[in-house]
Amino acid sequence: MSDGYNNFKKTDDLCDNVCGQASRVAVTVSRLRCMLRGSDIRTYIFLFIVVPPSIFGLYLHGQKITYFLRPLWESPPKPFTELPHYYHENVTMDTLCHLHGWKVREYPRRVFDAVLFSNEIDMLTIRWNELYPYITQFVLLESNSTFTGLPKPLRFARSKEAYQRVALDQLLRLADANYLYSFEYLIDHKSWRASVHRYKKGKTRYAHFRQSDLLLADAGWHCSFCFRYISDFIFKMKAYSHTDRVRFAHFLNPKRIQDICRGANLFDMIPEEYTFKEIIGKMGPIPHSYSAVHLPAYLLNNAEKYKYLLPGNCVRNMAESRKTTCYKSF
């Protein structure tokens, strides 16, 4: 100040040079030291030992935590009304229809089977051969790009736009046995994405969501990632609508994918359920099923060709050999 009087504010040497001419690094360090001034050892432990691993853990397992806490933030869907399904090869159609409350028709309905197709060649062949005696016409829709916009070759040339399977008077969801990787890994009997209903002009259209509260029990099979080659696993993981599940590049490592033989989840995910009981009950590897009873007849009649889909034959080949794939003409 003036008149030879000086007024000095006392400072602590810990904070020296914060506002001086020191380098940016020195200033940053000094500020950090000032902020930590007076903190005890527990604060240091928390900031430098607990916080960084916690942040890294959330980065690695944030999706798992979210799925595990799903019962807290999402309510379960309305339960289905499950319809009994009666069938045995030695029971007459009259009896089976009567058990369902139906009558035998004087003439059969026209039934169209329509699918979206990407690269599931073996599953399509099994499906068509299994349904061939009952279907009026098969309709297939294939695109030259994937759900994620990746270009893809047209694996099946005939491409027509139609979407649902036409059969009964009422819309039903079909409860399929839900398999993963092959018919050795049975998840549950709760897959309901297939549907059957009576065609109505202007109203029948594709919809990949629940459209009915009626569920016909034990009405077929659903098999995700049932591929012969590891390369097809990789293609679908990058191409289908849930590509966000491929959170890390090593998920596409062929050796890691081959871990499906242990029943491991390809995306390292928590089960998608709505109660903690169901989530905990399904955690861990998918148990092996050694039953090949009631599988598609065409699959069993061609067991050598499709043995990778049957129990005990999980190991996959890396890539498809260069050969021509032939289709039976329907």
Give 265-298 pLDDT, tens digit per residue.
899 888 888 899 999 999 889 999 999 998 999 9
Give long-range contacts, CB 8 A cutoff, 24+ apart: 287-294.
Answer: 287/185, 287/186, 287/263, 288/184, 288/185, 288/263, 289/183, 289/184, 289/185, 289/186, 290/184, 292/183
What is the number of other CB atoms lying within 10 angstroms of the CB of residue 92?
A: 10
Q: What pLDDT, on a 0 to 100 scale, did the predictor assign at position 110?
A: 87
- What letter represents residue 262's amino acid? R
Structure tokens at 163: 């979407």
Q: What pLDDT, on a 0 to 100 scale, did the predictor assign at position 163?
A: 31
The DSSP H or E segment spanning 24 is: helix 24-36
Q: What pLDDT, on a 0 to 100 scale, did the predictor assign at position 151?
A: 86
Sign of CA dihedral 91, 97, 103, 105: negative
Q: What pLDDT, on a 0 to 100 scale, did the predictor assign at position 99?
A: 95
- Nearest residue to 58 via CA among 237, 247, 246, 238: 247
Structure tokens at 35: 């902020």
Contact present, 163 and 208 (Cβ < 8 Å): no
Which pTM does this prediction carry?
A: 0.71
Structure tokens at 307: 């043995």
Q: What pLDDT, on a 0 to 100 scale, did the predictor assign at position 8?
A: 46
Question: 72 in helix, strand or coil?
Answer: helix
The parts of the chain modelled with pLDDT lower than 70 are 1-23, 25, 29, 32-41, 44, 157-176, 320-330
Which runs of consecutive H residues, i.e. helices, occur in 171-240?
A: 230-239
The DSSP H or E segment spanning 81 is: strand 81-83
Q: What pLDDT, on a 0 to 100 scale, did the predictor assign at position 62?
A: 80
Q: What pLDDT, on a 0 to 100 scale, did the predictor assign at position 310?
A: 94
What is the number of other CB atoms lying within 10 angstroms of the CB of residue 30?
A: 18
Structure tokens at 63: 């999706």
Give the E-state strand segments of 104-248 in sequence order. 112-117, 137-142, 165-166, 172-174, 176-180, 182-191, 195-197, 214-216, 221-224
Q: What pLDDT, on a 0 to 100 scale, did the predictor assign at position 168?
A: 37
Sign of CA dihedral 29, 35, 39, 44: negative
Q: What pLDDT, on a 0 to 100 scale, did the predictor assign at position 100?
A: 92
Contact present, 206 and 164 (Cβ < 8 Å): yes
Residues facing 229 on adjacent strands = 317
Distance CA 323, CA 33 (A): 69
Q: What pLDDT, on a 0 to 100 scale, did the predictor assign at position 174?
A: 55
**Model confidence pLDDT, tens digit, residues 132-153:** 988 888 888 888 888 888 888 8
